[in-house]
Amino acid sequence: MCGIVGYVGHKEAYPIVLKGLKRLEYRGYDSAGVALLNGGLKVYKKKGKVAELEESVVGKDLHSNIAIGHTRWATHGEPNDRNAHPHISQSGEIAMIHNGIIENYAQIKRELVAKGYSFKSDTDTEVLLNFIDDIKQHNECSLEEAVRIALKRIVGAYCILLIHKDDPETIIAARKGSPLVIGIGKGEHFLASDASPIIEYTKEVVYVNDYEIAIVRPDELILKNLGNEKQTPFITELDMELAAIEKGGYDHFMLKEIFEQPQTIYDCLRGRLDADKGMITMSGIEKYAEQIMNANRIMIVACGTSWHAGLVAEYIFEELCRIPVEVEYASEFRYRNPVVHQGDVIIAISQSGETADTLVAIENAKENGAIILGVVNAVGSSISRLSHAGAYTHAGPEIGVASTKAFTAQLAVLTMIALKIAHKKGTISIEKYSILCKELAEVPDKVAEVLKLDDSIRLLAEKYKDAYDFLYLGRGYNFPIALEGALKLKEISYIHAEGYPAAEMKHGPIALVDEHLPVVFVATKDAYHEKVVSNMQEIKARKGKVIAVITEGDTVTPSIADDVIILPPAHEIIAPMLSVIPLQLLAYHIGVAKGYDVDKPRNLAKSVTVE
């Protein structure tokens, strides 16, 4: 959640921080603000998007070589001006921004109120800030030391940046459970929640670890742990280009990212899959191949769209590898005291690699002796560092809040892992292995073919944009795709939608069917196809509107459905990477037709780093 940016150096800080906030706005857009030093500590903040902040400071003297900025996804306190970050301490000496949630803020607030502190906001952030300020004043210590003392008491997740009115060359930062990356320039440093605000200025970055404090000056970066011991910064070279975080002529990032999928899937497969030779090379998996082959079970933990990718993977692993698979919501897994044995394999799926619930879930599983495999997009992220091994999806930056290209890249990686293990284990014939490798290699070209349906899907969206509800149905490998289609529509258009196994429709949801209800069937050719056609007949008998996603050559469904979307043929294991594309486009075009900001849907943020 929340985007944070900081700069200290020889340049004007405000323009750098403002541009960074615009690039991080997908992390939250309830309010925005900046703090800088200009004849004292100045804070400007505004409810709404970054553009509203920018408009509100027109004509003000914003000269400064140090600044911190924040774009908020509201947790404590409603979105308004007074709850916007940065906050200023009661002494007026310190400004702070914060991403995360302080769980024991209420107890600390009571203690501060007893000491005479009053609060101008409803946030846990202001409590932490005044706690730090109180420690600094009563112990007559440095801001760095006050932060260290305070964080030993704090329970929760945080990434904080602080500046002091008497120190125009220092930003103090710290993190636990919320990401922080520091870009290293010549006589300057950049701080941000992820690399997108930094890539324009430098490719050398340091990913700050949990429980570390950073003291950042123009010519100096010092990392320390909470025990005041210096840590050696590990400098990483960013593998990202500026063009990847620009719209590139598209109206929205979401549409750009949908249309990038032929390339992102190709990038995911490149260097790993050699279909002609029947070889899959994944060094991160090979090291633990024996343990995966011999695992009693695989547990997949994820949230949201990544959870749907895990559901598809459940079908794939069980069919190809003959290993039992359980797919868990990370938010439930972490709290229910799950049974995890030594040698169990946990696959953690996350686009950002920072999803709070998934992080805690795999930390707990790792402590119990499980092998952790990470499937993430963001290089250097917390999940990638916590995992024993895994694979990056190489989808590139995903700016649109609703995940699209990350999902198909996750499916590509998970399919390769399953094929590799099945081949090594001997639970799949050489012939089937070869067929699936070749079909997987053909996915980028087939996705490009599906994207040619964009204009017809836009017309379909116009037809159904005023519906109040949608039902998405599928069986087998297509059931998770029905769930994902429904989620996309909810996220982008705010239309209520539900995904169900097609056979479960008769156990309740069929009561919703009338002449106003569009029902989307993911009905590509597979072992369940005849059963799904029967389910369509049941909807039509009750006057429901049927939209069917089918395979080229299907002569039966078009005579039943009101509208059809025809896809290239593919093996049922591979088909989800194709069948999800029209559902992404349908959600996008309905959202646009309804006049919504599809890149920044209400109440949502890209990376969920709080509970």
Q: Would you list the DSSP string of 104-137?
A: THHHHHHHHHHTT---SSS-HHHHHHHHHHHHHH
Looking at the fold, whether 426 and 476 belong to one and the same domain comes out as no
* 199 and 339 co-located in one domain: no
Q: Where residue 283 falls among pLDDT bands split at 50, 70, 90?
A: confident
Are 201 and 319 in a shared domain?
no
* pLDDT tens digits for range 390-409: 888 988 888 888 899 999 99
Neighbours of 530 (CB within 10 A): 8
The set of catalytic residues is 2, 606
**Facing residues of 398 across strands?**
none
Q: Is the pLDDT of residue 528 over 80?
A: no
Q: Does position 471 have pLDDT exceeding 80, yes or no? A: yes
- Asked if residue 603 belongs to a domain, the reply is no
Same domain, 148 and 176: yes
Answer whether residue 447 is part of any domain. Answer: no
Cα separation, 178 vs 160, in Å, equals 9
pLDDT at 41: 95
Sign (positive/negative) of CA torsion 58, 62, 63, 69? Answer: negative
CA distance 406 to 449: 19
For 478, 481, 522, 524, the CA distances from 579, given in Å and listed in that order, are 8, 7, 7, 8
Sheet of strand 496-501, all strands in order from the earlier edge strand to the far edge: 496-501, 469-474, 518-522, 545-551, 563-567
Q: Distance between alpha carbon 470 and the CA centroid of its chain, in Å?
A: 25
What confidence score (pLDDT) does residue 150 get?
95
Give the domain CATH number at 21.
Answer: 3.60.20.10
What's the sign of the alpha-carbon dihedral 437, 440, 445, 446? positive
Classify residue 25: in a domain, yes or no: yes
Res 607 pLDDT > 60: no
Q: Are residues 413 and 549 in the same domain?
A: no
Please report which confidence band the pLDDT of residue 366 belongs to, taking 50, 70 and 90 as the band edges: confident
**CA 172, CA 213: separation in Å to the nearest integer?**
7
Cα separation, 290 vs 298, in Å, equals 13
Residues 197 and 338 in one domain: no
Q: Which residue has the tokens 């119990």?
A: 368
Are 284 and 416 in a shared domain? yes
Among 415, 441, 467, give the residue marking a domain's end: 441
Q: Does the pLDDT value for residue 606 go beyond 70?
A: no
Could you report the per-residue pLDDT of 448-460, keeping only the tens digit for each?
Answer: 999 999 999 999 9
- Mark which of 412, 441, 470 sits at the end of a domain: 441
If one counts the domains in the chain, the total is: 3
- CB neighbour list of residue 435: distance below 8 Å, 6 or more residues apart: 571
Which residues on adjacent β-strands are paired with residue 6? 68, 191
- pLDDT band per the 50, 70, 90 thresholds, residue 551: very high
pLDDT digits (tens, 9 = 90+) for 112-157: 999 999 999 988 999 999 999 999 999 999 999 999 999 999 988 8
Q: What residues contact 597, with CB distance under 8 A and at least 6 apart?
A: none
368 is in which domain, residue-wise? Answer: 247-441
37 and 182 share one domain: yes
26 pLDDT above the threshold of 80: no
DSSP annotation of 525: S
In a domain, 155, yes or no: yes
277 backbone φψ class: left, alpha, beta (φ>0; ψ -120 to 50): alpha
Domain holding 569: CATH number?
3.40.50.10490
Report the share of the chain in percent with pLDDT over 90: 62
**pLDDT above 80 (res 10):** yes
* pLDDT for position 339: 82
> Is residue 598 within 8 Å of residue 254, measured between CB atoms?
yes
Q: What was the pLDDT predicted at 266? A: 94
Based on the domain organization, do 135 and 30 belong to the same domain? Answer: yes
Burial of 378 (0-12, 13-18, 19+ CB in 10 A): buried
Q: Which of 441, 473, 499 is the last residue of a domain?
A: 441
Predicted confidence at residue 243, as pLDDT, reads: 58
How many CB atoms neighbour CB 84 within 10 A? 27
Task: Tell me the pTM.
Answer: 0.78
- Residues 274, 260 share a domain: yes
Backbone angles phi, psi at 475, to 5 degrees: -125, 155
List the Cα angle 286/289/294 in 5-degree steps: 175
Residue 606 lies in a domain: no
55 falls within a domain: yes
CB 311 within 8 A of CB 327: yes
- The answer to whether residue 607 sits within a structural domain is no
Same domain, residue pair 238 and 251: no
Same domain flag for 215 and 313? no
pLDDT of residue 76: 66
Quick check: 411 pLDDT over 90?
A: yes
Report d(CA 231, CA 220) in Å as an integer: 13
- Residue 164 counted as domain residue: yes
Structure token digits, residue 560: 């039943």
Task: Reduce the DSSP state of residue 545 to 3 states and report it.
Answer: strand
Q: Given this model, what pLDDT does residue 245 score?
A: 62
Characterize the bridge pairing of strands 371-376 and 469-474. unpaired
